[in-house]
Amino acid sequence: MVLHSLADFVPLLVIAFTIIVMRARFKSAHDISWPLIYYLILVIFVRAREGEFNNYLIFTGVLAALVLRYEFIGGFVLKAVRFVEFAVQCYVILICLDLLTK
């Protein structure tokens, strides 16, 4: 891992914020608002790194976060939406690790 400029630290920050959001989703209520700020920052980061990420997967994660925030769901549907969001967050971590090793 070679870091040539300050911009090379951004994937590390995205990984850290992703882990924080993953932990918050498991420890706190699912209708908190601040993970939406994370997804806003993530979308800006993804759009700046055009071609590195699958935009459909990222926006699926955004949609899952919005459903968790604004819908009153429970049972199997809640677990399915949380799983989708968790899978997208794992995808973000893997791609950011790939960006760091290029």
For 33-56, the pLDDT digits (tens) are 788 899 999 999 999 988 889 999
How far apart, in Å, are the Cα atoms of 86 and each of 28, 55, 68, 102? 15, 16, 12, 25
Q: Is-contact 84 60, C-beta < 8 A?
A: yes
The one-character DSSP state at 81 is H
22: tokens are: 């993953």
pTM, entire model: 0.87
Up-side HSE of residue 84: CA atoms within 13 Å toward CB? 18
**pLDDT higher than threshold 90 for residue 6:** no
- pLDDT score, position 2: 62
